[in-house]
Structure 1
Amino acid sequence: MKWKEEYEKWLANDALETSLKEKLHAEKDEKVLEDSFYTNMAFGTAGMRGVLGAGTNRMNIYTIRKASEGLARYVAENGEEAKKRGVVIAYDCRHMSTEFAYESARVLGYHGIKSYVFETLRPTPELSFAVRYLNTFSGIVITASHNPAEYNGYKVYGEDGGQMPPHGADAVTRYIDEIADIFAVKVAEKDALLANGLLEVISEKVDTPYLEKVKTVIVNNELVEKQGKDLKIVFTPLHGTGGMLGLKALQSVGFTNVIQVEEQFQPDPNFTTVKSPNPENREAFEVAIDYGEKYDADLLVGTDPDADRLGVVIRNKSGKYDVLSGNQIGALILHYLLKQKQAQNELPKNAAVLKSIVTSDLGTLIAKHFDVEMIDVLTGFKFIAEQIHSFETTGSHTFEFGYEESNGFMVKPFTRDKDAIQALLAICEVTLDSKQAGKTLAEDLEEIYEQFGYFKEDLVSLTMSGKDGSEQIENIMKTFRAELPDSMGGEKIVKVEDYQLSERRFLADGKTEPIEMSKSNVIKCFLDDGSWFCLRPSGTEPKIKFYFSIKGNTEAAGSEKLARVRDGLMKIVEK
């Protein structure tokens, strides 16, 4: 694409939305303009995400209409029944989210496709539930998850409630690519769609059954009903969608001693009190930690803006508050669930847990201890959803828990995406059980490490924006494949998994075996004690991520080894 020609085309369009035209006239930085127009907004298997603004590589009503046109053609391809079942649409608190939701419905409505749109912002997991509950053919959620305020996104879901599987996403992408003129996409009028029933606004119709299902996450109902009020919880939705349903869910099962972080409870598209609304980071919890200190809270919990990720803060041995990693939260919930179900004789023989390939193997050892199978999948909850569907189809396994290191958790499969509302109840129950035993979560975690080994994880994420950044990320992966090291930080590499080549290679003898997964641009290197590091470009952001999972006999040994391996890899990347 010749970006200047596309830029001039937008500038010359008299019908261009006023605010976008004003931004184009005001922007003088040629690099910014080039990045806005040098390519089309990429539509991947989970949809698209990007910076708001004018241009083919920005989130605006025209790129939204184009994506929705592609989805509409895919729905129509599947016949009149698919059109009648329709598409349910949810949206978060971000700039333009409401507008994008209704623009999507207008495009679908033009094709005679029914749309359900939530009356106000709702969590992403409720959208996943709504697809299944309303039996729609597809779903859309307008969100950029935990990205900064200048971002928004568009995620598409399949009829099972999971993010659209590859065959569907490929078809939508093909239809999108066929659209030559981004301004030629037709839309129907909102009022006409409401009048003829092709657009229905929904709220309690889905809220009530979703919250009823969330209650079933609790394993020890008697404990929570009787003692839940004794757990002092500080809760922040970080200005996003999790507040209303999260609070209702907690109170409905017995966690009534909930202190709201008032400054962050109301939706705010600018996320005024935080630099980034990412509950993986301590900075996002600074206000909540002040509340924790003031009220001497047992537990601090926070949901990201679309409430699919949960952050957790607990007191350490010194009495200070520490932010847990997604791996630690997952290990605590998993250990508790399996222990309780085993004690209640409710753990089936074919029980299985699912995690991503970049998630710590601590969970694998916990599952093995309870004689439960751990199955690894590619990064992205759609792959966990696919496995659950396979379990239900074949009867091969019973799903018990699914999680990713990036703070995404699913306890019950009534949703098919990570669900912070479910995880909110689960971690509160774990904490309450610990408190009733006279312990803290920090002590529980220490006991897990003592039993299964001290796992130290880290993530280094490098942002490389624009055309130059994309080329840089591609070059890092290409160079690493071509010049694969045989050691890292003084530790021998014994095995390499290349998911793009679908190949596992053993360095000692050069033998290879196939990896039975979809292809993905990921390289994972294993050390001789099972520790590993991994290189993975993000599928939704201009980033390349480097994951580390290092095991030590002690916490100090694990930390020291982690530092050596991480520094060794980053020196290679810097070159």
Structure 2
Amino acid sequence: MSWKELVKDWKLGLSGDSDLKKELDALEQDPESLADAFSHPLEFGTAGMRGLMGPGINRMNIYTVRQATYGLAQVVLKQGEGAKQAGVVISYDSRHHSREFAFHASQILVGQGIRTYMYDSLRPTPVLSFAVRYLKTAAGIMITASHNPKQYNGYKCYGPDGGQMPPEDAIKVTEAMLSRPDLLSIEGVSQEELLQSDLFQLISDEVDQAYLKEIASVTVDPSVIKRQSDLKFVYTPLHGTGQYLMEKVFREAGFKSVHYVDSQKDPDGEFSTVKSPNPEDGEAFIEAEKIGRAVHADVLIASDPDADRMGAAVRLSDGSYRTLTGNQIGAILLDYLLKAKQAKGELSDKTCAIKSIVSGELATKVAHSYGVEMRNVLTGFKYIAEQIHLFEQNRSGEFVFGFEESYGYLVKAFVRDKDALQATLLLAEVAAYQAEQGLSLADALEDLYARFGVHAEKTLAFKFEGESGQERMKEIMKQLRDKPLTQLLGASVAAREDYLTSQRVETTATKPISLPKSDVLKYYLDNGDWLAFRPSGTEPKLKVYMGVTAENQALAQEKIAGYEGVLRELLA
């Protein structure tokens, strides 16, 4: 069936007074967007299924949610009666339609005879991951589009270990989804039947309390917090899910001077006080900084709408604030953890940190300085969770810390996804440790630079929207493979890695890469710098990552600017 025929089916199938029908009528005035909405279905990427909300098979709406849940249900049912009874747990964030989508997912699952747990109000992604493990369910669903703009929503699937489904399982869900292309006719129980069903249970505070009990173990040295309990913080959830539990985390840890951004405390799908609800964006700290300056706060902290990502800014001696990058925060947290474990004699030859292949190398140098392995995995926190699961299965490693440059960190494996609450608690403790010595988090970073050299990174995101944009991204990646880069700004390419062909090509040899296939190209230059190209699995963007080392910040930023100029010209 052509996409134009699909449009006709949707026009006939949608209720005349429904919001989706009205949106479809409006969408017909934009032929390119209409084609994009109906020409191909949403797929599972590095972080599940994510897309613009609206009518169409390539949009997030109740019908694509039903179809995805039908696919997940078939995977659970094939695992047998035990999985069916173990069930699925569902949570959702503050975005428009998130609660509605969660209910529709529940209706499909119960309609398939699968026990279903759903939170009675919004909860963070890491708490959903924890709930899968705590309730021992067969799977989990998180309705969220993470840090994306307000027009987006998404659907993450979790396996029984609490990690996002790895590719092989996500493929099974996708195949089952596509077996029901008639997504308008996929039905579950009614809302009334759902609420009366013995298979459906709303959950609330019980799982929260169990999570908070575990998160207390993230603290390395409670006495440091006790001595520095008056250290001043400002926290904002950016209108998302973090406020309720983060308040408890700060209070139970012993921090007494935490200020909250009143204008951003409450859930708001419009994200009305920020351009983007993304802690990677320095502008997300504007409101927090106003309060920080007023109360002379030492650290500003923000989490994204589903509270899996955390960003921070530290107060400098002149009263201004310096935002830290995800790579910088990761290196600071890892150094603190390893220093503490070394002092306690808790490091072993199996201790292992994990990061994504596009994350910076400062943390790698930190790990190696303690004799600890840094393992690289593909982008997507599910691959970090996969490694933790592997360690548990064959005792090949002891997980100490995992992170991605995109502001995602995991300290303790009772959660199997990035966790802004864990990361916030540990970063607050590091700030307290530094304050006790008359120093700040900025000083901790400068100490790392003194030990390992100045490191700087930058990520460029080139937007390629619509069907034509997808084709353009494919064309760019093909060109880079057909005619590989050989030098940049006078630096020669020493090696390149193609994660689609699983090959590392050096000047004298070609070696295999033992990671799953992924559309990523990474170049290593002979001056120690690196860059990587990766089409986003969840957004219409081609991401280019750069990492440099230099003697000082000025030279590092000069190199970054030089590479950026060349890359923008290359991808224009």
Interval containing the TM-score (normalised by the shorter chain)? over 0.9
Task: Provide the residue aligned with 1:517 in structure 2.
Answer: 515
Q: Which residue of 1 aligns with 2:557?
A: 559
TM-score, scaled relative to structure 1:
0.97
In structure 1, the partner of 2:138 is 137
Aligned length: 571
SS of 1:89's partner is: strand
Whether the 8 Å CA contact 1:502–1:515 is kept in 2: the answer is: yes
Distance (Å, rounded) in 2 between the aligned partners of 1:519 and 1:62: 31
User: Please, which runs of 5 or more residues in structure 2 have no aligned partner?
Assistant: none
More moved, 548-557 vs 149-158? 548-557
TM-superposed deviation, 1:541: 0.7
Residue 478 of structure 1 aligns with which residue? 478
Between 435-444 and 557-566, report the one with greater CA deviation.
557-566
1:37 aligns with 2:38: yes
Instruction: Show CA shifts across 1:346-367 (max 9, x none).
Output: 2233211000000111111100
- After superposition, the CA RMSD in angstroms is 1.2
Q: What one-letter code is carried by the residue in structure 1 that aligns with 2:201?
A: E
User: TM-score of the superposition, structure 2-length normalised?
Assistant: 0.98
Task: Note closer, same or farther for the CA distance 1:46–1:560 as it changes in structure 2 (3 Å cut).
Answer: closer
Tell me the alpha carbon deviations over residues 152-194 of structure 1, each in whole angstroms, 9 at most, x when there is no partner: 0000000100001222111111111111311121211233233
Q: Which residue identity does 1:49 align to in structure 2?
A: R
Please list the CA deviations of residues 491-545 of structure 1 after superposition, one character each: whole Å capped at 9, or x if unmatched.
1111000000100001x33x10000000000000001133200000001111110
SS in 2 for 1:314: strand
Q: Which residue of 2 aligns with 1:452?
A: 452
Whether contact under 8 Å (1:280, 1:323) holds in the other structure is no
Residue 230 of structure 1 aligns to a residue in which SS? coil
Is 1:391 the counterpart of 2:419? The answer is: no
Q: How big is the shift at 1:114?
A: 0.6
**Aligned residue for 1:326?**
326
Unaligned runs of 5+ in 1: none
Map 1:42-121 onto structure 2 (within 5 A).
42-44=43-45, 46-121=47-122
Letter in 2 for 1:549: G
Find the aligned partners of 1:427 and 1:516 in 2 and give their Cα distance. 33
Measured in 2, the distance between the counterparts of 1:88 and 1:16 equals 33
- Specify the alignment match of 1:531 in structure 2: 529
* Cα distance in 2, alignment partners of residues 31 and 86 from structure 1: 40
State yes or no: 1:2 paired with 2:19: no
1:314 and 1:116 mapped to 2: Cα distance? 40
Q: Deviation per CA, 1:274-328, whole angstroms, max 9, x where unpaired?
A: 0100001111110111111111000000010000000101123543111110001
- 1:427-486 CA deviation, whole Å, 9 max, x = no partner? 000101000000111111111101011111001011111101101111111111111121
The 2-side partners of 1:247 and 1:314 are apart by 20
Rounded Cα–Cα distance in structure 2 between residues aligned with 1:17 and 1:89: 29
Q: Which structure 2 residues correspond to residues 19-418 of structure 1 after superposition, within 5 A? A: 19-27=19-27, 28-44=29-45, 46-224=47-225, 226-316=226-316, 318-418=318-418
> What's 2:570 paired with?
572
Q: Distance in 2 between matches of 1:291 and 1:254?
A: 21
CA contact (8 A) 2:491 2:527 kept: no
| Aligned partner letter, 2:529 | S
- Contact between 1:228 and 1:254, CA under 8 Å: does it hold in 2? no
Deviation at 1:256, TM superposition (A): 2.0
1:345 deviation in Å? 2.2
SS at match of 2:458: strand
8 A Cα contact 1:163 1:381, kept in partner: yes
CA contact (8 A) 1:66 1:176 kept: yes
CA contact (8 A) 1:232 1:298 kept: yes
Distance 1:219 1:359 in 2: 25
Aligned ranges for residues 434-453 of structure 1 at < 5 Å?
A: 434-453=434-453
Shift of 1:33: 1.4
Distance 1:43 1:403 in 2: 21
